[in-house]
Structure formats: structure tokens, C-alpha cells
Amino acid sequence: MKKVVVIGAGIGGLTAGALLAKRGYDVTIYDQAMVPGGCASTFQRRGFTFDVGATQVAGLEKGGIHERIFRELDVELPPMTVCDPACAVFLPEEKEPIMVWRSPEKWQKEREKQFPDSKKFWSLFKILFDASWRFQSRDPVLPPRNVWDFSQLIKALRLDTFVTVPFTFMTVANALQFLGLKGDRRLKIFLDLQLKLYSQVDTEETALLYAATALSVSQEPQGLYHLEGSMQVLSDRLVNALEKYGGKLKMGYFVEKIHTENGRVKGVTIKHKKKGEIFTDNADHIVANVTVNNLVKMTENLPSGYGKRVEKLEPASGAFVIYLGVDESAIPENCPPHLQFLYDYEGEIGEMNSLFVSVSKPNDGRAPQGKRTIIASSFTDTALWWNKNKADYDQLKQEYTQKAIARLGEYFNLSPEHIIHQEVATPLTFAKYTAREDGMVGGVGQRISTFGPFGFAPRTPIKNLWLVGDCVHPGEGTAGVSYSALTVGRQID
């Protein structure tokens, strides 16, 4: 029986580990945290359950990536409700939001009302999405790195796929200019806000083909889902599957080094975080559910070209997140589960000029009776938070917290008596609990140079060393990292 070591118990690592255990491999997953799930895990405070990072899930519909994987693992899908609208987007000084409805007909009417001259843009999006989704549903391997990978890519190609070829090197901004919509500020800002969530970059940089998929999966027959209980139920079911098929999960173990010999993996050096014990575990395959930045630092004898490419990447985003446990009276009536706010057209998206907000539902397991949770995040430059003394760091955190409460107070009733619990996370927090380089979130930006066929491959230059997670195709989100895990499972098997 071949031995597989998986580094990281995020959704990508758990999925890869469970699939490989099901297929007969001897699997051990190591993670330095105490709770599995990575950026899709949870923590509890005073009766409230807070989702650490991810708050919604795609791919639970029939034929969706999670549904396919859970069916293969013979595990039940978690209880869920569909997010409809998927998001309510508030632009500066506007009281009525742009509602991103799940129904294609309702969403079309909303677009016609909000962006009356944009019909040709959304028509192009639909053409590209339909072709890309059919292509993706045939499980291509991107980017291909050997003959087998190429064979899987070729099998996924159809004549209708080639409609996307002329748009391969276009950004969303290129498409807006081509269609004469570059001057539509509201449309561009709306797209900037949504794309920052899904691709880490705005219309100027996001690859058009990626955007067409990322901004369309919230409509039927696909959709975004709110899990009952918490995001942790996704991890719990994957852990159950892993253990059902003989795999082992070891939390509190930090993988310090990936060892190689003659161009292939040999094993890992591991440190028990509490006891300080250090030991080596040899393996036939190593699956790293880490960022490419972490991978370069961890791996012996990785080809220099790979490291240089990682060094040249644009800095990844961090996040400032505020977690609030509140009385239910703080929540406006008919509040959507997800909201996005931009406060000033002239400011950048992030650094408290924009917030993405998730609100728990009544009786969804995240809060005591009569209480709710509010989780609000803003993108931030990770460099702002590092190399500060404690006083400066605490002051910056306090400034961000006060501004977040003030911003949220424009929509929610956040008088002091309504706030029961308040806690924040910065890039340093994410670095501590997820071990991601500099506390980065969301992987690499989906620019032309880093998306799909031009991105980082699950098959690394070291034989039998595999990369899963949000730095490889198809990108961030639980659905994206799960697809990367499915790909690696097929490549190994």
C-alpha cells in the first residue's frame, strides 16, 4: 500500500486525503492547527459559532463538485439553504442595493434596471460561461504538465469550447472597452467589488474567462449555499470519510520541511507544536494543501525557476475581519445573508472602504435563540500589519475596529447594548492559525498570467509532490480547492 502524506487539513487537503484513502492509499494528514478546515473552519465564543473565513459554499447542487465528491465518498451532504439573493451590493450613497438573484430571469431584470446599457456585456458573459462550464464539467487538467494531463485536457475539448479562444487573453476591462461600456462607472464598480471577492483583483486585471464563471455560479441551476450549523460541517463530513476509509488526521503537527532525493519526494520533517518533538515521516506521495509561497519555503531542491516565479507574483491580499455576536434586534428586517458595501467611489476596494458582510439566519445553529452573528471583512495590505511593535499594532487594530463598527452601524443597529461579543482578526491572526504566508487569503489573483492554462499546476516540478488549494486551478473557494483535490486524486491514481 502506497503511503501519502497530506500537509494541511483545509478543505483541499481533507478532500484529497479522503478520496485517496477511499482508493486504497495509506493516508496521513498533518495540520498545525487544532481544528480542521483551514480558512473554512470555525471558532466558538459565548454560545456563538463564527465561520473563520469562508461563509458560503458553491457546488452542492446535483452534479456540483461537492455533490460529486460526497457521492464518491458515500457521505451525506450537509443540511443547507440556498442564498437568494446571493448578495446585496450597496454602492456609495445609494439606499437600494443591487440584488444578485439566483433566478436568471430575476437577475436579468435587476441588471436591466441597474445597468440599462449593459445587455451586450451580460450576453457575452453567458456565452463564455456556458462554454466554460461545459468544458470544466468534463474534468480537464489545467495546466497540463505531462502526456496524461494533456490527454485529459484534449478529452474535455469540444467544438463549442473554441468560442472562448478569442477571449483567452482579455481582461474584464478589455471586454468593457470593446463593448463601449468603459465609461459606465456603476457597472465597473459593481464588477470590481464582486471580482475582488472571487479573483482577488478588479476588472483591470481579472481574466475575462475566469470572471464569466466566477460571477455566474450563483444563478440556477448552480447556486451559493448557506450551511446549517456552520462551515465546519463540511470539514466534519470529510474527516468522517477519511477515517471511514482508514485515513489518519493528526492535528497540532507542523510540517517544517519537505525532503526530496533525485528529483522526487522522500518525506517530511514534522514538529509536534505542544511537545516540541521532531520526527520524520517518509512517503511515496506528498500532497501540499498550502500556498505556493509556503511550498517554496518548505521544499528542498525545488527548481530555482519555480521559486523565481513565485517571487515575482504580485503581493496577495490579507483580510481584516470583525466577528460580532449581537441581539437579533440589531438586524434589519428581511436582511440578506450576504451584503457588500462600498463607501467611497474614490477610495480603493479594501482598507475599510469596502466590507463584505455575512449574517447568520435565525435558528441556523450559529447563535443562541434571539441572537445572530455578523461577520464583516475588508481586504488589507498584509505589509501594513507586520514588523510593528505591539503598541503600534494594537493602535492600528483599534482604528480598523472602530471604523468597521461605524461603517456597519450605518446599516445595522449596533448600539453598545446590542453587541454581546466582539472580536477581530488581522493578517497576523490568519498567519498564526492557518500558517499561510503573511496571513494571505484567497490564493493568487486570477490575472491572465495566473489563471487556468497559465497558472500553477497541481503537478509540481518535484515528482510525486502535489499542490492543492486556492493557488492552483480553478482558484479560491471550497468548490475550487475541492476540484484541485479531485484532480490530484486522479493524477495519483
How far is residue 349's CA from residue 192's CA, in Å, rounded to a whole number? 8
pLDDT over 90 at 378, yes or no = yes
pLDDT over 90 at 409, yes or no = yes
pTM: 0.96
Report pLDDT for 348.
87
CATH class for the region spanning 3-40+61-79+230-313+443-492: alpha beta
pLDDT over 90 at 333, yes or no = yes
Report pLDDT for 169.
98
How far is residue 264's CA from residue 400's CA, in Å, rounded to a whole number? 46
Residue 4 near residue 282 (C-beta atoms within 8 A): no
Please provide the distance, in angstroms rounded to a whole number, between the alpha carbons at the two ends of the chain.
12
Which own/partner pairs from 83-87 qualify as long-range (CB within 8 Å, at least 24 positions apart)? 83/56, 83/218, 83/223, 83/224, 83/225, 83/226, 83/337, 83/338, 84/223, 85/336, 85/338, 86/56, 86/218, 86/223, 86/224, 86/338, 87/194, 87/218, 87/336, 87/338, 87/339, 87/340
Residue 441 near residue 53 (C-beta atoms within 8 A): yes
pLDDT over 90 at 426, yes or no = yes
β-strand partners of 51? 42
Mean pLDDT, rounded, of the chain: 96
Cell of 399: 482604528
Q: For 11-31, how does the pLDDT look when each residue is reduced to its tens digit (9 = 90+)?
A: 999 999 999 999 999 999 999
Q: For 183-238, how does the pLDDT look when each residue is reduced to its tens digit (9 = 90+)?
A: 999 999 999 999 999 999 999 999 999 999 999 999 999 999 999 999 999 999 99
Going by pLDDT thresholds of 50, 70 and 90, the confidence category of residue 90 is: very high
How far is residue 102's CA from residue 99's CA, in Å, rounded to a whole number? 9
Q: Which helix (H) or strand (E) holds 195?
A: helix 185-199
What single-letter amino acid sits at 94?
A: E
Nearest to 189 by CA among 63, 84, 48, 341: 341
Report pLDDT for 40.
94
Where are the domains positioned within the chain?
3-40+61-79+230-313+443-492, 102-220, 317-434
Cell of 442: 484567497
How far is residue 18's CA from residue 29's CA, in Å, rounded to a whole number? 10
**387: helix, coil or strand?**
coil
pLDDT over 90 at 127, yes or no = yes
Length of the chain: 493
How far is residue 475's CA from residue 456's CA, in Å, rounded to a whole number? 10
Give Cα separations from 398 to 209, 246, 280, 426, 427 (angstroms). Answer: 40, 47, 42, 11, 14
Q: According to CATH, what is the number of the domain 317-434?
A: 3.30.190
Give the percent of the chain with pLDDT over 90: 99
Nearest to 293 by CA among 311, 268, 305: 311
Report pLDDT for 286.
98
